[in-house]
């Protein structure tokens, strides 16, 4: 008699047992999902926040234009982008802005897995349109007037009184010009970024437009005898309570770093918020107008360009200017030096 095959059915006692749960390992894409998101974050950080905001605005404008004209925005053909660029030029937009908008279109295409319209084989007409716009619409760059030493002293003289706003505004103008700061750098300063030394100030710039790697840079500002940036900054820090250590939080931990230049309420009361970069531009225009200058010719950049203009005019070398301005190349700085030297030792001064 042959043996019966074993019964594979579970016994009653076996069937009552709970199944053993085996943890299923996530698949490779699931494991990498968080890392991919993190990589995308770093990719976005490769561009400055201002550039990202501009690209998002440019892309929204292009999408709206495509909807209005029954065109496909993603993926867009080079011909559609060419017509868009031409339309933008006809509306009076300058070539540099149009070029940025086309770059933004390419950026969002690549982010979505499509080639940029400018990289497609049939993008020849788009390239010709962009060249034509530059040739036809290009014009001399409208550079704002610099707040050089004379202009800045006149502006400072118009800030009357010893209230919080007056003391703050004097320090903002003086430090912004003396350190050749961009307005975004000026409002990003904290209490720990400034060190008082015998010669004047040491200012640490944590991040700037040309320092996306966040390596930081430190610049020196002389104490001065005319504009006196150190004295004006000390006066502001004293009334703003920035010379005293910040109080500990309720949990005993150190409080967050305080902005160096804070927003004031309409009643001139201190807030804990940093000034905005736009408020720097408004401040410069306000005191330029008070000093008798055309405010349309001045902007937040006037403080930075004022230092470079005055420094070049006083004979500072391009390399000493670069120490303060932190330009990566000397091409832009060479324009300031050329302007200052335009009539020095002129080739025609002996016979004209």
Q: What is the pLDDT of residue 13?
A: 44
CATH topology of domain 28-137: DNA polymerase; domain 1 (1.10.150)
Q: How confident is the model at residue 318 (pLDDT cuts 50, 70, 90)?
A: confident
pLDDT at 325: 86
Give the residue from 38, 295, 283 showing the smallest Cα distance to 177: 283
Q: At residue 146, does pLDDT exceed 60? A: yes
Residue 330 has pLDDT above 90, yes or no: no
Residue among 43, 59, 40 nearest 108 (CA): 59
Domains 28-137 and 149-247+255-341 share a fold: no
What is the reported pLDDT for 3? Answer: 45
User: What pLDDT score was predicted for residue 153?
Assistant: 94
Q: Which of 130, 128, 109 is nearest to 55 (CA)?
A: 109
The domain locations on the chain are: 28-137, 149-247+255-341
Residues 6+ apart with CB under 8 A from 328: 210
Q: What percent of the chain has pLDDT over 70?
A: 79
What is the mean pLDDT of the segment spanning 35-58? 65
149-247+255-341: what fold?
Answer: hpI Integrase; Chain A (1.10.443)
Higher pLDDT, 32 or 100: 100
Buried b (16+ CB within 10 A) or exposed e, 152-170: bebbbeebeeeebeebbbb
Average pLDDT over residues 92-110: 89
What confidence tier does 328 reach under pLDDT thresholds 50, 70, 90?
confident
């Amino acid at each position: 008699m042959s043996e019966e095959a074993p019964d594979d059915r579970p016994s009653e006692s076996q069937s009552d047992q709970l199944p053993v749960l085996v943890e299923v390992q996530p698949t490779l894409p699931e494991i990498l999902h968080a890392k991919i998101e993190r990589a995308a974050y770093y990719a976005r950080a490769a561009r400055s926040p201002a550039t990202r905001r501009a690209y998002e605005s440019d892309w929204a404008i292009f999408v709206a234009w495509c909807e209005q004209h029954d065109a496909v925005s993603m993926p867009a053909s080079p011909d559609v982008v060419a017509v868009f660029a031409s339309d933008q030029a006809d509306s009076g937009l300058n070539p540099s802005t149009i070029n940025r908008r086309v770059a933004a279109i390419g950026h969002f295409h690549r982010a979505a897995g499509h080639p940029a319209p400018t990289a497609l084989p049939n993008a020849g007409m788009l390239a010709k349109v962009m060249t034509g716009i530059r040739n036809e619409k290009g014009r001399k760059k409208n550079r704002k007037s610099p707040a050089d030493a004379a202009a800045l002293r006149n502006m400072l003289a118009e800030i009357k009184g010893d209230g919080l706003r007056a003391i703050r505004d004097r320090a903002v103008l003086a430090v912004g010009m003396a350190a050749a700061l961009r307005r975004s750098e000026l409002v990003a300063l904290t209490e720990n970024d400034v060190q008082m030394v015998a010669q004047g100030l040491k200012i640490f710039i944590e991040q700037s437009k040309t320092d996306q790697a966040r390596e930081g840079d430190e610049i020196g500002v002389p104490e001065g005898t005319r504009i006196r940036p150190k004295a004006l900054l000390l006066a502001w820090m004293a009334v703003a309570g920035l010379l005293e250590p910040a109080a500990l939080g309720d949990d005993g931990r150190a409080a967050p770093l305080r902005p160096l230049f804070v927003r004031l309420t309409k009643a001139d009361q201190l807030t804990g918020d940093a000034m905005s970069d736009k408020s720097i531009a408004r401040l410069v225009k306000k005191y330029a107008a008070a000093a008798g200058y055309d405010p349309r010719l001045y902007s937040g950049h006037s403080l930075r360009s004022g230092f470079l203009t005055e420094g070049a005019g006083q004979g500072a070398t391009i390399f000493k200017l670069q120490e303060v301005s932190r330009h990566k190349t000397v091409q832009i700085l060479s324009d300031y030096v050329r302007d200052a030297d335009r009539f020095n030792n002129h080739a025609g001064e002996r016979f004209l």
